[in-house]
Every structure is written in structure tokens, then in C-alpha cells.
């Protein structure tokens, strides 16, 4: 067994322990449920408000005065990180590991995750600081160190979060898992449409150069790029997925039956699919759910927290909309495409990720693999630039602004590494680091829920906040 196979097996073992149902999944759901109660069920009662606030920001052209970027740029940057290849490759790996039932647990994670993401954005704005560079900085490291009454605990959790946040951005879902899916969907598109086999390093080199050019411009260029790119890429992907669904509308009842049935009963082995226990379904659904929407991970408040808003809860409602779009809309469409196609049971796709999604959509739409490859590139590109920003803010918190340039160089180099490693290694390492990153953040969210509740009551009691 070679070095990488050995490493993959060890990471998979630790990852299975961290994401077993009574470890990280239960923590995410319990904390999200607690925040749902403390915020007065914000994701249900004020969802129309979240939609209105987001749409208003989308069509407003005002310049940022109080923050570094506008509210919609903050949403676009956060969506750039969340609506990534977790929506294409992450959903595929969730189904391949946990069966169709994994999608149910992904929905559960998203439902409580809306309140979690709301709380993260609220605390991000409330506890943001101004760095020596003059730019605003936000994120769990600041609301942990400045918000918790237990200062030593807060500082320890802040450093823990910053360390694992920087590591996740370099080696995890914010980098290597993205380039891995981009490369594989590109190769599948060229193979299926032109019959040509392309080495993985070719698309890896393309995305590496593209990301490197954008990162030279800092957060304003990142946010500006995301603001233009994110709405376009989501519309293109949703359009393709909706077309597939309309052409296969007769399969909708069957897909829902499979999802709900296998959420609570084991998925039997069929074709190349080896089957999955309920525990595997829960672990796969929750881990890929948080990988996709990042609710509880602590990454999004780094962007949301520097938005120009009048009140922290205003940006919090934008976070609610973000999770809804990412998981309830985009991930669900991907799941329908994969499950209805039946390709998830074939042996040839058991080690696949985004290439399964591309092949599944191509069963109905000619040349759909090209569309998925383009969306994978755009999703991954936007996620990479946003996550580099997240990682460098974590590094800045620990070591100061002088480390940012070196961090960007290492980040860009690892994009190429991610493109050529195996799917199990890229995604197992990503979900494992997600768990380590989320843990200190979730402790802080639980302890600061009173602050969130107070700010929410203050905001939603105002007449203009009524639904």
C-alpha cells in the first residue's frame, strides 16, 4: 500500500469517528436547534424578511460606508464559498456513502443551520474590529475572544478556530476538494463530448492560474468578482437542473420515497453500491450538509461581519437566505438528478464526485457534462477565492498581516495538488478539518446565544422589521 493510500485510510478512520451520529452531527443539530429557539424561530417567522432584505441588496448600488463591502457583496462572497463543488461533488459523495437517505439529513442540517448561520452573521457584525491595515476584520476568532465572559477560554477557542480555519482553507473543502472536483468534471466533459482523455493536471493548472490572478487584488476584488459571478453561476446551474427535472418529472415521487425511506432504514446493496447503514446516512448527510452550506463552520461570518449594515440582525437575515439557496434549492436539485438517473448504483461511479453529477445529467440533456463542468469551474473558482480570504484572515489573527502574502502563495500551490489527488483523500480530509474548525465555533455560539437573542429582539421589535 503506497503512502497516499495509507494516509487516506487513516484520515477516513478519524473522519468516521468525528462524524459518527453521536459526535459532530448531534452537536450541530442540538446547537442549531437551541439557536432556533433563542432567535424565536427566525428561519420560519422572518424568512420573507430575509428574502426582501437580500433582493433589496441585490438591486442596490450603494457604496459601502460603515463596512468594507456592501451587504450584497458580503452575501455574494459567502455564497461564493458555500455554493461550491459541495453542491456538485459533495452531494454525489453523500449519496455514494450514505445512500439517498443522506439527503434527508442534509435537509435537517440546513433547517436548523439557517438559525446557526443567522447567529454567526449577527455576532460577526456585532464583534468586528478594525485591524492595523485599516480594514475591518470579523469572524469567530473575534466574537470568541471579545464576546465570551471567560477570557482565557475565549482566547483559547479563538486561536483553536483560527488554526483549524487556516488549515481547512489550505487543505480542506475550501481548496483541495474544490480543485479535485473541477478537474474531474472537466475530464469527464472532454471524455464524453470529444472522446479525448485529458490528464487531471491540465484543468488543475488552469484553475490555479485563474485564482492566483484574482487573489492579487485583495477583498475588494474578491467581493467584486463574487458579486458578478455568483448570481450568474447559480442561475446557469439551476436552469440546467430544472430542465432535467421537468424532463424527468415522473421520477419526482420515486426520488422522495427513496430519500425518506432510507433516512430511517438501511440502504440495501444494489449494483455497485455496497449499501449503507442509517448511521452512515446521518454522517454523510450532516457532514456534506455543513460542507455545503457552512452553517456552524464559522467561515461565513468572516465575510458577513464586514458588511455595511445598520444593525447586525439585518445581515443575519441574509445568512438565512444563503443557507436556503445553497442546500434546500441547489443541493436538492443535484440530489434529484443523481438519484433519478440511477448511476449512483453503478460500480464505475463508486469513487466519483462531480463526474457522477455530470454523467447523471447527461443521461437526459445532451452535452450536459459541459454545462456541469463549466458550473463546477465557476463554483470552485468562486469558492477558492472566498476561502483564501477566510484562511488569510485566520492567519492574520494569529500572526499579523505580514503573513498574508506567503499564505496566498501556499494556498495557490495546493490548488494544483488537490486537482490530482484521489477523491476519498480530498473529501475525507475536507470533512475532517470542517469538524475540527466547527467545534470551537459551536461552543461560542451556544455560550453567546443570549447576545444573539437580545440583538434579535431589538431588531425585530422595530416596525420596519415586521413580516
* pLDDT one digit per residue (tens) for the chain, 467 residues: 477 688 888 998 998 888 888 889 999 999 999 999 999 999 999 999 888 877 776 555 555 445 455 555 555 555 555 566 678 888 999 999 999 999 999 999 999 999 999 999 999 999 999 877 777 889 999 999 999 998 999 999 999 999 999 999 999 878 998 898 888 888 888 888 888 888 999 989 988 988 887 776 555 555 555 556 666 777 888 899 999 999 999 999 999 999 999 999 988 777 777 778 888 899 899 988 887 888 899 998 998 888 878 899 998 998 898 899 889 998 999 999 999 999 999 988 888 888 899 899 999 998 888 888 888 887 788 788 888 889 999 999 999 888 888 999 999 999 999 998 888 888 888 889 999 999 999 999 999 999 999 999 999 987 754 44
Residue 163: inside a domain, yes or no? yes
DSSP structure class, residue 1: -
Residue 289: inside a domain, yes or no? yes
Residue 464: inside a domain, yes or no? no
- Give the span between the Cα atoms of 192 and 184, in whole angstroms: 12
Domain with 164 in it: 3-457
- Give the span between the Cα atoms of 161 and 438, in whole angstroms: 8
Residue 467: inside a domain, yes or no? no
Q: Would you state the pLDDT for residue 223?
A: 55
Q: Would you state the pLDDT for residue 355?
A: 86
CA distances to 106, 187, 304, 354 from 100, in Å? 10, 26, 33, 16
Residue 463: inside a domain, yes or no? no
- Give the span between the Cα atoms of 197 and 191, in whole angstroms: 6
Q: How would you label 13-39 residue by residue, b for 16+ Cβ within 10 Å and e otherwise? A: eebeebbebeebbebbbebbebbbebb
Task: Output the pTM of the full model.
Answer: 0.86
CA-based max dimension of the chain? 65
Residue 9: inside a domain, yes or no? yes
Residue 465: inside a domain, yes or no? no
Residue 215: inside a domain, yes or no? yes
Q: How many domains is the chain built from?
A: 1
Q: Would you state the pLDDT for residue 464?
A: 59
Residues 6+ apart with CB under 8 A from 410: 170
Task: Find the CATH number of the domain harbouring 84.
Answer: 1.20.1740
Amino acid at each position: 500500500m503506497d503512502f497516499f493510500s495509507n494516509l487516506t485510510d487513516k484520515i477516513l478512520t478519524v473522519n468516521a469517528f468525528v462524524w459518527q451520529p453521536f459526535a459532530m452531527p448531534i452537536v450541530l443539530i442540538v446547537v442549531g436547534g437551541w439557536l432556533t429557539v433563542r432567535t424565536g424561530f427566525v428561519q420560519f417567522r422572518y424568512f420573507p424578511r430575509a428574502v426582501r432584505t437580500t433582493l433589496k441588496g441585490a438591486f442596490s448600488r450603494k457604496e459601502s460606508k460603515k463596512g468594507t463591502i456592501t451587504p450584497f457583496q458580503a452575501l455574494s462572497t459567502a455564497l461564493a464559498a458555500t455554493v461550491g463543488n459541495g453542491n456538485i461533488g459533495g452531494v454525489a459523495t453523500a449519496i455514494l456513502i450514505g445512500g439517498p437517505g443522506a439527503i434527508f439529513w442534509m435537509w435537517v442540517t440546513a433547517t436548523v443551520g439557517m438559525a446557526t448561520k443567522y447567529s454567526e452573521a449577527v455576532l460577526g457584525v456585532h464583534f468586528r474590529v478594525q485591524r492595523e491595515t485599516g480594514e475591518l476584520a470579523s469572524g469567530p476568532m473575534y466574537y470568541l475572544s471579545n464576546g465570551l465572559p471567560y477570557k482565557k477560554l475565549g482566547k483559547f477557542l479563538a486561536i483553536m478556530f483560527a488554526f483549524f480555519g487556516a488549515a481547512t482553507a489550505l487543505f480542506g473543502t475550501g481548496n483541495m476538494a474544490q480543485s479535485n472536483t473541477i478537474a474531474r468534471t472537466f475530464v469527464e466533459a472532454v471524455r464524453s463530448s470529444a472522446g479525448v482523455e485529458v490528464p487531471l493536471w491540465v484543468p488543475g493548472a488552469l484553475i490555479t492560474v485563474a485564482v492566483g490572478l484574482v487573489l492579487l487584488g485583495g477583498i475588494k476584488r474578491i467581493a467584486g468578482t463574487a458579486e458578478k459571478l455568483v448570481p450568474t453561476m447559480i442561475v446557469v446551474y439551476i436552469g440546467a437542473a430544472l430542465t432535467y427535472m421537468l424532463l424527468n418529472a415522473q421520477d419526482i415521487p420515486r426520488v422522495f420515497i427513496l430519500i425518506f425511506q432510507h433516512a430511517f432504514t438501511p440502504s440495501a446493496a444494489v449494483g455497485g453500491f455496497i449499501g449503507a447503514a442509517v448511521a452512515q446516512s446521518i454522517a454523510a448527510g450532516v457532514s456534506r450538509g455543513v460542507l455545503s452550506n457552512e452553517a456552524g463552520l464559522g467561515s461565513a461570518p468572516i465575510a458577513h461581519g464586514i458588511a455595511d449594515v445598520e444593525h447586525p440582525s439585518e445581515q443575519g437575515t441574509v445568512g438565512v437566505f444563503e443557507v436556503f439557496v445553497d442546500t434546500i434549492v441547489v443541493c436538492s436539485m443535484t440530489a434529484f438528478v443523481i438519484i433519478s438517473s440511477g448511476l449512483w448504483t453503478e460500480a464505475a461511479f463508486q469513487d466519483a464526485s462531480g463526474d457522477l453529477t455530470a454523467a447523471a445529467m447527461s443521461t437526459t440533456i445532451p452535452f450536459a457534462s459541459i454545462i456541469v463542468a463549466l458550473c463546477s469551474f465557476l463554483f470552485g473558482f468562486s469558492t477558492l477565492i472566498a476561502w483564501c480570504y477566510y484562511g488569510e484572515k485566520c492567519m492574520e489573527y494569529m500572526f499579523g498581516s505580514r503573513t498574508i502574502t506567503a499564505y496566498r502563495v501556499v494556498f495557490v500551490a495546493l490548488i494544483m495538488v488537490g486537482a490530482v489527488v484521489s477523491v476519498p483523500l480530498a473529501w475525507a480530509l475536507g470533512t475532517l478539518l470542517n469538524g475540527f474548525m466547527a467545534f470551537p465555533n459551536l461552543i461560542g455560539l451556544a455560550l453567546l446565544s443570549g447576545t444573539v437573542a437580545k440583538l434579535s429582539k431589538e431588531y425585530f421589535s422595530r416596525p420596519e422589521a415586521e413580516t
